[in-house]
Protein backbone atom coordinates (compact mmCIF):
# COMPACT_ATOMS: atom_id res chain seq x y z
CA UNK A 1 0.00 0.00 0.00
CA UNK A 2 1.15 3.55 -0.68
CA UNK A 3 0.05 6.97 0.57
CA UNK A 4 -0.47 10.31 -1.14
CA UNK A 5 0.34 13.75 0.29
CA UNK A 6 -2.09 16.67 -0.04
CA UNK A 7 -0.09 18.42 -2.78
CA UNK A 8 -0.15 15.25 -4.88
CA UNK A 9 -3.91 14.90 -4.39
CA UNK A 10 -4.37 18.29 -6.06
CA UNK A 11 -2.17 17.33 -9.01
CA UNK A 12 -3.94 13.99 -9.45
CA UNK A 13 -7.33 15.75 -9.44
CA UNK A 14 -6.08 18.11 -12.18
CA UNK A 15 -4.79 15.16 -14.22
CA UNK A 16 -8.17 13.43 -13.99
CA UNK A 17 -9.99 16.62 -14.96
CA UNK A 18 -7.73 17.35 -17.93
CA UNK A 19 -7.66 13.86 -19.45
CA UNK A 20 -8.62 13.94 -23.11
CA UNK A 21 -9.16 10.24 -23.89
CA UNK A 22 -11.72 8.05 -22.16
CA UNK A 23 -9.35 5.09 -22.53
CA UNK A 24 -6.61 6.67 -20.39
CA UNK A 25 -6.44 6.18 -16.63
CA UNK A 26 -4.02 7.04 -13.83
CA UNK A 27 -1.23 4.51 -14.26
CA UNK A 28 1.84 3.88 -12.14
CA UNK A 29 4.65 2.53 -14.28
CA UNK A 30 8.40 2.59 -14.74
CA UNK A 31 10.31 5.19 -16.71
CA UNK A 32 13.57 3.23 -16.66
CA UNK A 33 16.01 2.27 -13.95
CA UNK A 34 18.33 4.19 -11.69
CA UNK A 35 20.85 3.32 -9.03
CA UNK A 36 18.09 2.44 -6.55
CA UNK A 37 15.97 0.32 -8.91
CA UNK A 38 13.10 1.28 -11.21
CA UNK A 39 12.20 4.94 -11.57
CA UNK A 40 8.46 5.17 -11.02
CA UNK A 41 6.04 7.68 -12.49
CA UNK A 42 2.32 8.36 -12.81
CA UNK A 43 0.82 9.07 -16.21
CA UNK A 44 -2.51 8.88 -17.96
CA UNK A 45 -2.21 5.69 -20.02
CA UNK A 46 -4.32 2.94 -21.50
CA UNK A 47 -4.36 0.05 -19.01
CA UNK A 48 -2.73 -3.30 -19.75
CA UNK A 49 -4.67 -6.53 -19.22
CA UNK A 50 -2.46 -7.58 -16.30
CA UNK A 51 -2.38 -4.23 -14.47
CA UNK A 52 -3.29 -4.34 -10.79
CA UNK A 53 -6.13 -1.97 -9.95
CA UNK A 54 -5.82 -0.27 -6.56
CA UNK A 55 -7.85 2.54 -5.02
CA UNK A 56 -6.11 4.98 -2.69
CA UNK A 57 -7.51 8.26 -1.35
CA UNK A 58 -10.45 8.14 -3.75
CA UNK A 59 -8.31 7.62 -6.87
CA UNK A 60 -8.13 4.42 -8.91
CA UNK A 61 -4.64 3.51 -10.07
CA UNK A 62 -3.65 0.96 -12.69
CA UNK A 63 -0.30 -0.38 -11.53
CA UNK A 64 2.03 -2.28 -13.82
CA UNK A 65 2.35 -5.77 -12.36
CA UNK A 66 6.16 -5.81 -12.49
CA UNK A 67 6.52 -2.76 -10.21
CA UNK A 68 3.60 -3.31 -7.82
CA UNK A 69 5.82 -4.69 -5.03
CA UNK A 70 8.01 -1.56 -5.19
CA UNK A 71 5.10 0.57 -3.94
CA UNK A 72 4.80 -0.99 -0.50
CA UNK A 73 5.29 1.92 1.93
CA UNK A 74 5.84 4.45 -0.87
CA UNK A 75 4.61 8.04 -0.71
CA UNK A 76 3.36 9.89 -3.77
CA UNK A 77 4.38 13.52 -3.30
CA UNK A 78 3.50 16.67 -5.15
CA UNK A 79 6.38 19.09 -5.52
CA UNK A 80 6.83 22.51 -7.06
CA UNK A 81 9.66 22.61 -9.59
CA UNK A 82 11.07 25.10 -12.05
CA UNK A 83 8.82 23.44 -14.66
CA UNK A 84 5.67 23.55 -12.51
CA UNK A 85 3.97 21.06 -10.23
CA UNK A 86 5.23 17.49 -10.56
CA UNK A 87 4.53 14.13 -8.95
CA UNK A 88 7.31 12.13 -7.35
CA UNK A 89 7.08 8.60 -6.02
CA UNK A 90 9.33 8.12 -3.01
CA UNK A 91 9.59 4.40 -2.39
CA UNK A 92 12.51 4.69 0.02
CA UNK A 93 14.95 2.89 -2.27
CA UNK A 94 18.27 4.71 -1.87
CA UNK A 95 21.15 4.78 -4.31
CA UNK A 96 23.97 2.68 -2.95
Tell me how far CA of residue 19 lies from CA of 1, 6, 84, 90, in angstroms.
25, 20, 18, 24
Name residues whose C-beta falls within 8 Å of residue 80's C-beta, 6 or more positions apart in sequence. Answer: 7, 86
In the prediction, which pLDDT does 70 show?
A: 85
pLDDT digits (tens, 9 = 90+) for 46-81: 999 999 999 999 999 999 999 898 899 999 999 888
What's the pTM?
0.87
Name residues whose C-beta falls within 8 Å of residue 63's C-beta, 6 or more positions apart in sequence. Answer: 27, 28, 29, 51, 52, 53, 54, 71
Q: Residues, the chain, total?
A: 96
In the prediction, which pLDDT does 8 show?
A: 95
Amino acid sequence: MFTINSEALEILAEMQKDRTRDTDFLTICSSGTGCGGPLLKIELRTPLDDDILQEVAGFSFHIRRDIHDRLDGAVIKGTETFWGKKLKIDNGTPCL
